Chain A
Amino acid sequence: MNFNLFAVSLRNLKRKPFRTAILIVSLGLLVSILVFGASFIISVTSTVNKAADRLGADLLIVPVGARDSAQEVLLETKVASFFMDRSILERVKEIEGIEEITYHTYLSSILGVCCDVPEAKIVAFDQDTDFILKPWLQKNLGRRLQKGEAIIGFDAEDNLMLLEVDSSVLFNLKFDFVGVLDKTGTGLDDAIFVSDENIPDMARAAKLYAGENEISVIFAKLKPGYTSEDVGGEVENQIVEVDVINRNDIGDKIIGVLMDINRLFLVLVILTSLISTFLAWSVFSAIANERIKEIGIMRAIGAKCSHVIRMFVAEVVIVALMGSFLGIFGGIYMSVTLNKSFTLLMELSASLTTAERFWVSGIGFIAGLVICFAGAYSSILRLRRLDPLSALKEI
């Protein structure tokens, strides 16, 4: 027979199942809000950070006024086209502190007009200077991308319904898909990549508004010892046709919005924590009150103070564990399903890694325990001080 203090604690909790359930559910709600909020914040910030890291550039140089559009293309799933003259490449190269540059040209496809894919980002890149896709090409393809070949971003396969398709018509030219890129967590996961050797043919075939002398964005790496602020400022001073986005400023617009959401979540979490702590306090106080007589009897027949505390703490831990796990599952479920309801998340390639999910779950778990123990603290102290006769006198 397995009968011990833990069994007594379980029986105690089952004594008033509705009250126990209310406490567990309310704790679960708090933890789920916390997990959802943390998942939201972390997924957005990590997407922005990953995007900046993945691009591997210190400066992004875009046409004047295209700063926001460029970030939307790079971080979000939005499709946009903006162009500047190719000659700007040479002018950027000559600026002190620039070590390496490459460029992208962004073309927008339109289903039934130019292409047989829905509106998608078509990115033309220069294979000679590229440092963004090169590692993948070397590892997976082992050769240069040929004319008439394309590789697709990780999410494009799903989003553009290209799963079963080997080729597609883009700007009236047939392209063979020769590979799917690894997930980057950037907006480029939704793009189709072609070599810039295709641009003249595409422009001719589709009477494309982007000519072969137009590019969308220049990615620049800096020489050691130069800061992106100084060199970026110099680029803007010398080339009035461009705007510069520093590596550290990538996603600053999103981060700004995020900080407001963060503050809102923080207020919500603080308020919910206070309510949950108060609820835990009132429930555990009521539990302690109605047990005084029983605790007196237990002490009189030989229970040590530590037995009583262990029994009560076990109840607190059981409630905390159940509430925390409920909240963690609820929060993860919310963060997965509600992502589709948040424009910001929908447009980002945001999803948490397993490690990040564990980390967020850990925060939720600790929060559940802390709130339960904070609520039960005064009752635990009271039970600690209770001597057998005072307890029996409560009868």
Chain B
Amino acid sequence: MALLELDKIKKDYNLEGQPIKAVDNVSLSIEKGDFISIVGHSGSGKTTLLSIMGGILSPSGGSMRFKDTDVYSLDDDHLSEYRALSVGYIFQFASLMPVLNSLENLLLPVVFDPKQTVGRAHEKKALEYLDLVGLSDKAKAFPNQLSGGQQRRVAIARAFMNEPELLLADEPTGDLDEETEAEVMDFLKKMHEQKGLAMVLVTHNSTLAAYAERRIRMTNGLMENLIQ
């Protein structure tokens, strides 16, 4: 059974009266431990497809099953639990809560987990993740005290806090310098291998896409397998 199964997923928009097919009949099967990259130009539909996978955006048609559960037939609370527990999402922009320090930003997904209450074990785990992204000395720093790259690394660490089975990364190294970009990608690759989680990486950078074992190109909402 696939971890995530997309079947003829469509997403249509209406822009000033003109229908736009952002995602057009995309079918995709993601197994546990897969590392997939999605490349394509701006507006090709790759972020839209990733948002659908992340349970953030309802498709206009088709179905998506996560471990045999039809994700978009879930009610809002269960869909939120899918986002909180099954998926780790890395946004293409700085996505930290400005009123929380790095440690608290990492603990936020735990607050949303209905089965857990933040405790010492979570704090220890968060500090370990901060250490893994090289920011152990910034646990008490607030986002406005961190550089853009450091904020991005905190957000990446946060995506792992609830031990998701599927990691979705949207241009995770967008505004990082080359050295940090390589560090982040090595970290993601390492986590993918260590934890055996499935990872989908959206990027327009072919070097980064090469980290993945399987590559997909999106063009005008249509999906094309490059390397299977």
Interface residues of A (CB under 8 A from B): 1-5, 7-8, 11-12, 14-15, 294, 297-307, 388-389, 392, 395
Contact of A301 among B57, B109, B119 (CB under 8 A): B109
Given A1-B118, A8-B100, A388-B56, does the pair A303, B112 have CB atoms closer than 8 Å?
yes
Whether A8 contacts B83 by the Cβ 8 Å rule is no
Whether A3 contacts B118 by the Cβ 8 Å rule is yes
Residues of A within 8 A of B117 (CB): 4
Whether A392 contacts B83 by the Cβ 8 Å rule is no
CA A302 to CA B11, docked complex, whole Å:
22
CA A204 to CA B84, docked complex, whole Å:
97
Residues of A within 8 A of B151 (CB): none
Whether B99 contacts A302 by the Cβ 8 Å rule is no
How far is the CB of B202 from the nearest CB of chain A, in Å? 15
Whether A300 contacts B118 by the Cβ 8 Å rule is no
Residues of B within 8 A of A298 (CB): 97, 108, 112
Residues of B within 8 A of A305 (CB): 76-77, 80
Whether A4 contacts B118 by the Cβ 8 Å rule is yes
Residues of A within 8 A of B93 (CB): 395
Q: Fill in one digit per residue for B56-93: 1 if any A CB lies within 8 Å of its CB, else 0.
A: 11000000000000000000110011011100010101
Contact of B77 among A8, A14, A304 (CB under 8 A): A304
Excluding A3-B107, A388-B57, 15 further A-B contacts by CB distance (< 8 Å) are: A1-B123, A3-B111, A3-B118, A8-B100, A294-B97, A298-B108, A299-B80, A301-B84, A301-B109, A302-B81, A302-B162, A303-B80, A304-B76, A307-B112, A389-B57
Contact of B99 among A1, A2, A3, A11 (CB under 8 A): A11
Size bracket of the B interface: 35 or more
Given A3-B104, A15-B99, A294-B98, does the pair A301, B83 have CB atoms closer than 8 Å?
yes
How far is the CB of A294 from the nearest CB of chain B, in Å? 6
Whether, in the assembled complex, B51 has its beta carbon less than 8 Å from a beta carbon of chain A, the answer is yes
Selected A-B contacts with CB under 8 Å, 16 pairs: A1-B123, A5-B111, A8-B97, A11-B100, A14-B99, A297-B95, A298-B108, A300-B56, A301-B84, A301-B159, A302-B83, A302-B109, A302-B113, A305-B77, A307-B111, A388-B56
Whether A304 contacts B97 by the Cβ 8 Å rule is no
Whether A389 contacts B51 by the Cβ 8 Å rule is yes
The 5 closest A-B pairs by CB, nearest first: A302-B84, A11-B99, A302-B112, A304-B80, A302-B83
Interface residues of B (CB under 8 A from A): 51, 54, 56-57, 76-77, 80-81, 83-85, 89, 91, 93, 95, 97-100, 104, 107-109, 111-113, 117-120, 122-123, 158-159, 162
How far is the CB of A60 from the nearest CB of chain B, in Å? 67
Chain A, residue nearest B107 (CB): A3
Contact of B108 among A1, A301, A388 (CB under 8 A): A301
User: Dominant SS at the A interface?
Assistant: helix
How far is the CB of B92 from the nearest CB of chain A, in Å? 10
How far is the CB of B176 from the nearest CB of chain A, in Å? 19
Contact of A297 among B76, B84, B97, B122 (CB under 8 A): B97
CA A146 to CA B136, docked complex, whole Å:
89
Residues of B within 8 A of A3 (CB): 104, 107, 111, 118
Residues of A within 8 A of B97 (CB): 8, 294, 297-298
Residues of A within 8 A of B76 (CB): 304-305
CA A346 to CA B172, docked complex, whole Å:
73
CA A346 to CA B159, docked complex, whole Å:
68
Residues of B within 8 A of A294 (CB): 97-98
Given A1-B118, A8-B99, A389-B56, does the pair A300, B83 have CB atoms closer than 8 Å?
yes
Residues of A within 8 A of B51 (CB): 389
Chain B, residue nearest A304 (CB): B80
Residues of A within 8 A of B98 (CB): 15, 294
Interface centre among B97, B111, B162 (most CB of A within 10 A): B111
Residues of A within 8 A of B95 (CB): 297
Contact of A306 among B77, B89, B158, B162 (CB under 8 A): B77
